[in-house]
Amino acid sequence: MQISQETRKAAQAAEEALAPVFARIDEVSRVCSERVLDVFKDNRVSESMFAPSTGYGYGDRGRDAVDKVCAQIFGAPAGFMRPSILCGTHAITVGLFGLLRPGDVMLSVTGTPYDTLHSVIGIGKSGADGSGSLKDFGVEYAEIPMTPDGSIDNDAMKAALRHYGDRVKVVYLQRSKGYADRKTLSVGEICAATELAREAAGHDIFAVLDNCYGEFTETEEPCSARFGKGAVDLMIGSLIKNPGGGMADIGGYLVGSERAVELAGYRLSSPGTGLEVGASLGQNRNLLRGLFYAPHTTAQALKTAHLAACLFSRLGYKVSPDPFEERHDIIQTVTLGTPEGLTEFCRGIQSASPIDAFVTPEPSEMPGYADDVVMAAGAFVGGASIELSADGPMRAPYIAFMQGGLTYESARLAVMAAADRCGRKK
C-alpha cells in the first residue's frame, strides 16, 4: 500500500487510545444483532422466500416477509423495503408526496435539507419550475435554522407551528449533517423534538425523519413504538447505506405508523394497489442478507470514522465528531481548508479502494448538487456509502465527508493513505 511507517505507527497509537470506544461500538452491534436474529426467527425466514417474482408480484411471500422483517427490526408498526426504490432521495420523495397535499405546509426543523432534496421540495434555484416539485403541487415549505450548538430550536419550532396552524402536515427532521457542519441528532433528541412538535401543533401531524447513515448506531431507532408520542411517523433510508449491510444492490425503506406507511405505499405504486404489487426480481436474498449483516457492518464503519477523527486531529485538522465522542451516524468530517487538500483526501481514500483504485478523483458537476463535488467511491455497488467513500462540495472551508467501511481492516488502510497524502496541517 506504500503507506509510510510514520503513519502506520500513528494509526496504531490511535487504535490503542480508542480501545474503550471500539468496545462500546461492539456492544451496540451485539445488541442490534440479537434483535435482528430474533426478528428473523419470529418471521420464520426461509430459503423459499428468496424465490424471485415477476410482473405484478402478486403473492410474493419473500417480498412481504422483507417488509415485515424491516418494520419489526426498527420497532415500527408497519413498513416496506423495496428494490424499486432507487436511492435515499427517491425514498424520501415517495414519503413526502405520499403525505403532503396542495395547501399543506412542510416544516423542516433541522434547517435546510440535503442538497438533492432542494429540487424535490422546490427551493433554491429550482423553485416552482414545472419539474414536478412539491412547490409545483401547491405545497408550501418553511424551515427553522438549528441553534449554534447544532440542536433543534424548540422555541422557534413552537412559534412556527403556531404561525402556520393546522396547515402544517409534515414536521421534517434530518438526522445526519448532510453537507452542513453540524452535529448529528441522537435518537433521544429526535424523539424529544417529535413529542414537543405534537404537543405544540395541537392537531395531527406526520413527523418524518431522514434517517440515512444513522441506522444501527444506537440500540434503538426513533420510529420505535416504544417511544410513544416521541416516535416518528415515517422513518426513511437507503439500502446502499447502513441497513443494506453492503449486500443490497439497490433499494430503500420506509417504516412507521400504519397510516403513514399506507399513504407512502400508495405513492410508491398507485392508490388502491399500494404494497400489494411489486415484483422482487430475485432481490429478496440480498435485502435479507444485508439486514442480517447491517449491525456488524455499521460497527466497522463507526470504527473507521473514529480512527480517521483521531488520526487527522493529531495531524492538526478540525474534525467532527471528535475522536472520543459518542456517534449517532457513520459520517466523519475533516476540514481540509483548501481545494487541493480536499481533493488529495479523496484521492487517498480512492487509492485504497477495492474497485477502481487506479482512478484519480477530480472535482466535477453532479446531478442535484449546486457546487462541483469531488468524490472517492471505489465500491462494489455504485454509490454505496456503507462501503468506504469520501466526498465534499468544492466550497470553503473545503470539508471532506467520509463514511462507511465494509471491513475495518481495509478501511483503516484507506484512512492511512489519505493521511499520508494530506500530511500535517500547515
The pLDDT of residue 384 is 93
The phi, psi pair for 333, rounded to 5°, reads -110, 145
Please give the residue range of the domain that contains residue 389: 5-32+292-422
How does the average pLDDT of the chain come out, rounded?
A: 95
Domain membership of residue 247 (yes or no) is: yes
278 and 308 share one domain: no
131 and 95 share one domain: yes
**In angstroms, rounded to a whole number, what is the distance separating the alpha carbons of residues 255 and 116?**
21
Q: From residue 199, how far is each of 91, 141, 156, 173, 187 by CA, in Å?
A: 28, 21, 14, 16, 19
pTM: 0.95
Amino acid in the structure at residue 258: E
160 and 20 share one domain: no
193 and 326 share one domain: no
CATH assignment of the domain containing 349: 3.90.1150.60
**In angstroms, rounded to a whole number, what is the distance separating the alpha carbons of residues 350 and 373?**
15
The pLDDT of residue 125 is 72
Place of cell 463507526: 302
Find the mean pLDDT for residues 12-22: 98
The pLDDT of residue 126 is 61
**In angstroms, rounded to a whole number, what is the distance separating the alpha carbons of residues 367 and 380?**
21
- Could you check whether the bond before residue 397 is cis, i.e. omega within 30 degrees of 0? yes
CATH assignment of the domain containing 159: 3.40.640.10
**Does position 403 have pLDDT exceeding 90, yes or no?**
yes
Cell numbers found for residue 299: 460497527
Domain membership of residue 39 (yes or no) is: no
66 and 145 share one domain: yes
* Listed residues 269, 285, 301: the one ending a domain: 285
**In angstroms, rounded to a whole number, what is the distance separating the alpha carbons of residues 120 and 410?**
36
The pLDDT of residue 128 is 67
Domain membership of residue 38 (yes or no) is: no
192 and 148 share one domain: yes
Q: How many domains does the chain have?
A: 2
226 and 316 share one domain: no
85 and 169 share one domain: yes
Quick one: what percent of the chain has pLDDT higher than 70? 99
Domain membership of residue 37 (yes or no) is: no
**In angstroms, rounded to a whole number, what is the distance separating the alpha carbons of residues 210 and 18?**
29
296 and 346 share one domain: yes
The pLDDT of residue 294 is 98
* Listed residues 285, 304, 334: the one ending a domain: 285
Helices 154-164 and 187-201 pack at an angle, to 10 degrees, of 30
* Listed residues 222, 253, 285: the one ending a domain: 285
pLDDT in tens, 166-225: 999 999 999 998 778 789 999 999 999 999 999 999 999 999 999 999 999 999 999 999
The pLDDT of residue 181 is 78
Find the mean pLDDT for residues 222-239: 96
The pLDDT of residue 127 is 67
The 8-class DSSP code of residue 408 comes to: H
Amino acid in the structure at residue 207: A
pLDDT in tens, 329-375: 999 999 999 999 999 999 999 999 999 999 999 999 987 677 899 99
pLDDT in tens, 121-142: 999 776 667 899 999 999 999 9
22 and 109 share one domain: no
Residue 365 DSSP SS3: coil
The pLDDT of residue 324 is 97
144 and 249 share one domain: yes
